[in-house]
Amino acid sequence: MKRNRWIYISCAVMAATIGAGTAAADEPLPKAETIMDRFVEVTGGKAAYEKRTSIIETSAMELVGKGVSGTATHWGDTSNNSYESGEIQGVGKVDDGVYNGVAWENSAIMGPRVKSGEERADAIRDSMFNGTLYWRKLYPKVETAGIEKVGDEDCYKVVATPTDGKPVTMYFSEKSGLMLKETRTLVSPMGEIPAETLLEDYKPFDGVLEPTKREQSLMGQQMVVTVTDIKVNAEIPKDRFQPPPEIQKLLQKAAAPAPPAADKK
């Protein structure tokens, strides 16, 4: 255990050294694997991540310039199940979750929905607990695609391709090693929508740095999400991740045998 810790501290030092200063134009870019590993280290390191067994995050959101606001709570643990429950002013409840491989969404606007295909794969990937630590499982292929600025900071641009789904592009600060931006294509039955998230105000929560401000942009709308609290290793009841009854009804229907042909219209 002690030995392992030393190994990781060494890795952290190495990674930090690689990332220090601004890479000259003719310098080879660091490998994406190195950049990703450095992100793990600068946000706390493997040991800190592994100490976490559950997360309860609360956040507030505001749709910029539209006067729409809301709050949400996210529960996640090492089962890789997750549940997010939001309350948005003028809209009502919007819930989303992953439970034993079933990805679902239930909102007052759209009703209940079970996700499939790439959308399901994306949700399951997002639901992986300590996903930062296990990036190799999530993204078998990662490539450094260049250096780009995010705000004033030079960032390594890393394109991470999952087994199932569209590539996600991440931008890691050359200086700090922190991820400052992510772009991805949101996939749903409504279509494919490019989306961008700026990650800001990293703060420590039980030894792991997490961004406490996320500015999400899609289709010309900006939403600012501010994390108000993260509880690490708080007890989460076993049934917390159970999908709501509306989703269970859809799942039961999908599992039920088709009616005899004569009954079909």
Partner 1 sequence: MPAGGHRLYWSQILFFMHLSRLIAALALTAAIASPADLTPQRQDLNVKSFEYAWKTIRDRYWGTMPVDWQQVHDELLPKVENAKTMPEARAAMIEMIDRLKLTHFNIIPSEVYDTLGDAVHPGKGGIGEPGFDVRVLENQAIVTEVENGSPAAAAGIKPGWRLVKVSETEVAPIIKKVGDAYKDKTTRELYLSRSILARFRGGAGDKVAAEFLNGQNQAVNIDVVLKEPRGHESTFGFLPTQYVWFESRKIGNTGYVRFNMFMDPARISSLFGDAVESCEKCDGFIIDLRGNPGGLGAMSMGMAGWFIDRPNQELGVMKMKGNELKFVVTPRADTFKGPLAILVDGDTGSTAEIFAEGLKDLGRARVFGTRSAGAALPSLFERLPNGDGFQYAIANYISADGKPLEGIGVIPDVEVKLTRQALLDGDHPVVDAAVKWIAQQRSGK
Q: Could you say which residues in the range 229-248 bind partner 1, by CB under 8 A?
A: 230, 246
From the list 13-21, 25-33, 71-79, 141-149, the region that binds partner 1 by CB under 8 A is: 71-79
Distance in angstroms (rounded) separating the CA atoms of residues 28 and 12: 20
133 and 152 Cβ atoms separated by less than 8 Å? no
Contact status: 142 vs partner 1 (CB under 8 A) = no
Nearer to partner 1, 21 or 110 (CB): 110
| Tokens 């007890």, located at residue | 235
Which range binds partner 1 by CB under 8 A, 4-12, 20-28, 74-82, 141-149? 74-82
**Binding of residue 260 to partner 1 (CB under 8 A):** no
Among 63, 145, 150, 159, binds partner 1 (CB under 8 A): 63
Is 193 an interacting residue with respect to partner 1 (CB under 8 A)?
yes
Nearer to partner 1, 27 or 138 (CB): 138
Is the CB of 135 or the CB of 241 nearer to partner 1?
A: 135
Structure tokens at 258: 């088709």
Residue 202 beta carbon to partner 1: minimum distance, rounded to whole angstroms: 9
CA 77, 79, 80, 85 dihedral sign is negative
Contact 172, 38 (CB under 8 A): yes
Q: Least Å distance between CB 256 and partner 1?
A: 10
DSSP letters along 193-246, please?
EEEEEEEEEEEEETTEEEEEEEEEEETTEEEEEEEEEEEES----GGGGSPPHH
Of these, 16, 23, 159, 186, which contacts partner 1 (CB under 8 A)?
186
How do beta strands 54-63 and 221-232 pair? Answer: antiparallel
- Site residue total, partner 1 (CB under 8 A): 75
